[in-house]
Amino acid sequence: MLNSTGELEFSNEDNPEIISQLASLALCGGKSSAGVPEKTGYPDSVYVMAANIFQGIRIEKSAQKVLIKYGNEPLRSLSESEDQSFRRLSYELAFSALKYIVYIFFFMCPDHLSSLIIVMLYDFQDRKFQTRVLSDNEESISEVQEVENLLNSFKIKLAAALARCRIKHDALSIYHILPETVRKQELRASTLPLYAWINTCKISPEEVYNNLKRRGYHKVKSVLHVDDKVFAVDQHCYDVLIFPSHLQNDLINIDLFKDYKLIFQDKSRSLAVHSVKALLNMDDDILMVNTGSWYTVAHMSVLTNNNTSKVFVCGVQSQAKDPDLKTLFTKMGCKNIEILHDLFINIESKDHRLQKVKVILLLPRCSGLGVSNPVEFILNEHEDTEFLKDHSQGGISEDKLHILAQQQYEQLTHAMKFTKAQAVVYCTCSVYPEENEAVVKKALEFQDLGNKVQPYRLSPPVLPLCSLKEIQLSTDKFFRVEPSEITNGCFISILTRERDPSETVSVKDVLARAAAKGLLEGIELGKSSKREKKKKKSKTSLTKAATTDNGIQMKIAEFLNRETKASANLSETLTKPPLPQKNTAQVGASSQTRKPNKLAPNPTVPTFMKSTCPSRPRERQAHLMRPRPEDRMVALKPIEIVLPPVFMPFSSPQGIRSQMPAQHFYCHWVAPKALVPTSLPTPSLARKGEKPKDDTPSSLLRPPRPWL
């Protein structure tokens, strides 16, 4: 049934002794990858499912280069298992076959069995051509049994052919035949820890910590190179826990994961939803695009559980999935998710359902070469199996990269057309600038500026930068995580609208927002004070006074001149209390009309009066501007601390100001302090309507004149 060609070309005429020596070389050094334990084989159903997966991800070649022909129909399986571990084994086997076999083995075989032979041949050499251990209760599949028998019959020759290939490529093992980029990727995947986020709708972080400690887990700062049962809290996301990779089989069997209290997911998705959370207000809605895994949607819902926000998810074309999704979200405690059965590119920016959407999370399909373990990423994020093709070769063609970048650009520009949205979070797991920085910069450069809304701008990361390297990588306002032994690669860009310069936020609005968020607990916000009302009236009256007729101003000026000339003597002028002011408009008018009279000569007014009169209107205004305790709002008490020091003495009307002598009011710029009397009435008492004493000698009211 099996005939060989290419690298595996051999015949029955080969020297048995040479074949035996080459086979021994293959059997002693055929380990495919470092750190992988010895295997005994898989169940028949795993081989069939792996063959069907391989059929879908195999690399197409031109007709001239085709050496293996594949059938068009998948192999029939006895049962399609939905068990996660079963699917993981099948994907790992198919992906390994895609990486290794394409470089080494080529067969001439029946088309419908080509994929099955390739995946079983890889597993056969990975077991060093040892016989598979079968389970007693396992149901066998005829096609699998037939291929296995044929491979066993060619065991020695297959091992010899493999040894020839290793010698030809000067490789210690089949693992060293792979490209260097693929080998580095496998090395990172072997140490990559597990990330799981806490479903705070069902359990608190403290309860999770206590539950894990009862099971023998210990909380540490880093899980790298630790073989014990430990866990750590992620530095970027407070609700994400990190576990060593060797604990996966133990963790998936505990109740925390079975009851959806802990959910495995790649860290890049958690970084994306936490970036959105940092941009939200209490009642803002979110639109998620190309989410992949429903766990990402659930995580976004859990983070906004205490808000009134809704999480809209677009792209679910099949309504038949709705009952299953609702059941999943109900089990996870998510209540604010709404599914849209439309492709994102077809949703209009003025859709009535999305009028409260303020943040759009865009997770476009990308090459994903920042992911070290693509199998786990596919299982957790439900990415297309096409994702594995690029990873098997360690790179992507320029044509495919251009197509992906164009799709990402179209989705990003469409997201920027939603006029109600205020921010867009763009996240990929790619390492190519063509899919990251280039897409964002191009979208910002060619954004539509015809709308009345403000344009978008690039904003700095909203996530904490926990190391010097992260700070250096984020100097251009992009958040980057390079692929490493502790995490997959990630790229996040935050686009926010520029602030409208015409928008002004009043103090009342700020206080209202603070009160709504509970920041002013115990502080009463009263009505606007009398002082504020007077200020408003003053501003209104001053504006009106500036626009009055010149004739009216002249009449007012004449009236004030007559009043000034009518002052017979200085004592009456000094002791006469100021007229009660009905409103601040009169003060404003008098201050404006008395300025021209300062230079006008008046023989009836003494010389010192000419020098001191201009200061009286300003002093009166200072008294009027003096704050009153009964009019102050309780919420504005702290503002006294930040006022300029010159206003501090006036905070108490009956204190220091009441003790200042009257002469200081008129002659503080000339008279020495020793000559100032201390028993004179104060201007503050006169303003309160107190009558001055009539028996006060007029000589005491006359200030000293040292210049005479």
User: What residues are annotated to the active site?
Assistant: 429
Q: On the CB side of 65, how many CA atoms lie within 13 Å of its CA?
A: 5
CA torsion through residues 638, 639, 644, 648, sign: negative
Shortest CA distance to 630 belongs to which of 535, 530, 538, 537?
530
Shortest CA distance to 283 belongs to which of 361, 336, 340, 352?
336
Q: On the CB side of 400, how many CA atoms lie within 13 Å of its CA?
A: 11
3-state secondary structure of 233: strand
3-state secondary structure of 364: coil
Q: Give the separation between CA 180 and CA 188, rounded to whole angstroms.
A: 12
* 236 CB neighbour count, 10 Å cutoff: 20
Beta bridge partners of 424: 360, 495
Residue entry with tokens 């999480």: 311
Distances in Å between the alpha carbon of 267 and those of 188, 388, 590, 699?
A: 15, 19, 71, 89
- Relative to beta strand 285-289, strand 357-362 is parallel
Shortest CA distance to 365 belongs to which of 290, 270, 473?
290
Q: Give the separation between CA 357 and CA 300, rounded to whole angstroms.
A: 14
Report whether 109 contacts 70 (CB < 8 A). no
Q: Give the separation between CA 228 and CA 682, rounded to whole angstroms.
A: 83
Length of the chain: 708
Residue 517 token pair: 């968020």
Report whether 94 contacts 57 (CB < 8 A). yes
